[in-house]
Amino acid sequence: MKSRSDIIQHSLFEAEPVPGQHRLFSGRAPENTVPRVEDRPAGLAAIDDLDLLRQTVLKCRQCCLREGARGVVFGEGNPKADIMFVGEGPGKTEDEMGRPFVGRAGQLLDLMLKSHGFSREEIFIANIVKCRPPGNRLPTPQEVEACLPNLMAQIRVIRPKIIVTLGALASQTLINPGLRVTRDRGKWFEKDGISYIVTFHPAAVLRDERNKKRLIWEDFGSLKRKYAELCG
């Protein structure tokens, strides 16, 4: 199935990662950083079309991140995807292009997808927050709380069977605040009828290929098997 976005090719090593970008979320996230589904703004809850949802999210001003970002990075891919990937937030390249995962980490993600028989045309890629945090810092709990209803609306409209959480922030926000990527990567979790798998953020792999590359490849192999089981 085809995406509505053209897929832009980049060199895998076009630029050095920003120090501190996509660092792991330290400590247990406060329970109140994850809004309940029923607390979503009524306007989002009534939307059942991804294009309409995109136009709504592009106007979001629920936190201060939009003021320092070039634009909103909504996400992209198949609007009826069986698999959804969720990272933490846009980086510099993503903010400039308005697309998720198009820097070095995104190019590694593309390589892993292709190596396991997937493509961007089949999946949907999004982030916990839609606007770039200043200096690529980790989003604050308040920013996560403000933006999470947008992601939950995406999940509700797309209805994926599988969600891959890339890194600690996505895993702790969507699955359980007590998760640790180094301990729980490769594990499957069931929640609200969706199968979740925890794995490293590709940026973390780029910083530590020696220890993490083989592990994330194993996780993608597990994803491929689960996809065949649920969707084959």
Domain assignment of residue 203, yes or no: yes
Check residues 211 and 25 and name the one with the higher pLDDT. 211
Query: 8 lies in a domain?
Result: no
Instruction: For residue range 165-181, list pLDDT tens digits in order.
Output: 999 999 999 999 999 99
Residue-number span of the structural domain to which 108 is assigned: 37-231
Domain annotation covers residue 63: yes
CA nearest neighbour of 205 among 195, 187, 224, 218: 218
Task: For residue 114, give the CATH number of its domain.
Answer: 3.40.470.10
- Alpha-carbon dihedral angle through residues 200, 160, 190, 222, given to the nearest 10 degrees: -50
What's the total number of domains in the chain? 1
| Residue 58 and residue 72 in contact, taking contact as beta carbons nearer than 8 Å | yes
**51-64 average pLDDT score:** 94
b vs e for 91-123, b when ≥16 Cβ sit within 10 Å of the residue's Cβ? bbbbbebbbbbbbbbbbbbbebbeebebebebb
Let me know if residue 157 belongs to a domain: yes
Name the burial class of residue 171, with classes exposed (0-12), middle (13-18) and buried (19+) by CB atoms within 10 angstroms of its CB: buried
Kindly state whether residue 26 falls inside one of the protein's structural domains.
no
Please indicate, yes or no, if residue 45 is contained in any of the structural domains.
yes
Place of tokens 């794995």: 199
pTM for the model: 0.82
Residues in the chain: 232
Closest to 136 (Cα-Cα) out of 29, 19, 58: 19
First to last CA, the chain: 15
> For residue 138, is it within any domain?
yes
Kindly state whether residue 32 falls inside one of the protein's structural domains: no
State residue 141's pLDDT score: 96
Q: Is the pLDDT of residue 146 over 50?
A: yes
